[in-house]
Structure 1
Amino acid sequence: MDTARKRLLTGLVGGVVATLVALFLIALLVAYGGIYDIGASSGHTSGARWLTDSTMRSSVQARAPDDPDQAPGPQEIAAGAREYKAMCEHCHGGPGTEPAGWSRGMLPRPPHLTEAAAEWETGEVFWIASNGLKFTGMPSFGEDHDDATLWNIASFVTRLPGMTQEQYDAYGTAHSHGGGDSGAGHHGQEPHGEARP
Structure 2
Amino acid sequence: MARFLLGLLIGIIAVPLCVFAYFKWGKVPVAVNDPPFPQERLITAGPLSARIDRELVKNPPIQPNEENFLSGAHIYADQCAVCHGFHGKPSVVGTHEFPTAPALWEKHRRGDVVGVSDDPPGETYWKVINGIRLTGMPAYKDVLNDTQAWQVSLLLANADKPLPPSVVSILNGETTTQSPMGPVPVGPAQK
CA distance in 1, matches of 2:76, 2:67: 14
CA distance in 2, matches of 1:164, 1:144: 26
The worse-fitting range, judged by mean Cα deviation, of 50-59 and 136-145 is 50-59
C-alpha contact (below 8 Å) 1:85/1:174 kept by paired residues: yes
Aligned equivalent of 1:67, options 59, 81, 84: 59
Q: Does 1:109 align with 2:112?
A: no
* Structure 1 unmatched ranges of 5 or more: 1-6, 183-197
- Tell me which residue corresponds to 1:134: 133
Q: Does 1:96 align with 2:96?
A: no
CA distance in 2, matches of 1:137, 1:110: 8
Aligned equivalent of 1:28, options 20, 26, 30: 20
Q: CA deviation at 1:54?
A: 3.5
C-alpha contact (below 8 Å) 1:95/1:164 kept by paired residues: no
Q: Which amino acid aligns with 2:27?
A: I
Q: CA deviation at 1:106?
A: 0.8
Q: Please say which structure displays the higher CA radius of gyration.
A: 1
CA distance in 2, matches of 1:23, 1:79: 54
CA distance in 1, matches of 2:94, 2:40: 21
The worse-fitting range, judged by mean Cα deviation, of 48-57 and 110-119 is 48-57
Greater share of helix: 1
Question: Match of 1:113, SS?
Answer: coil
- Tell me which residue corresponds to 2:122: 123
TM-score normalised per structure 2: 0.73
Q: Which amino acid aligns with 1:169?
A: S
Question: Match of 2:100, SS?
Answer: coil
C-alpha contact (below 8 Å) 2:94/2:101 kept by paired residues: yes
Q: Which amino acid aligns with 1:108?
A: P
| C-alpha RMSD of matched pairs (Å) | 3.0
TM-score normalised per structure 1: 0.71
Per-residue Cα deviation, 1:2-51 (whole angstroms, up to 9, x for no partner): xxxxx8xxx69x84x75354443233112211331322112315632343
Q: Does 1:169 align with 2:169?
A: yes
Aligned equivalent of 2:34, options 42, 46, 50: 42
Per-residue Cα deviation, 1:127-166 (whole angstroms, up to 9, x for no partner): 1111111111111110122111111111111112355796
C-alpha contact (below 8 Å) 1:95/1:163 kept by paired residues: no
Q: CA deviation at 1:58?
A: 2.9
Per-residue Cα deviation, 1:47-77 (whole angstroms, up to 9, x for no partner): 3234333333333222222232653322112
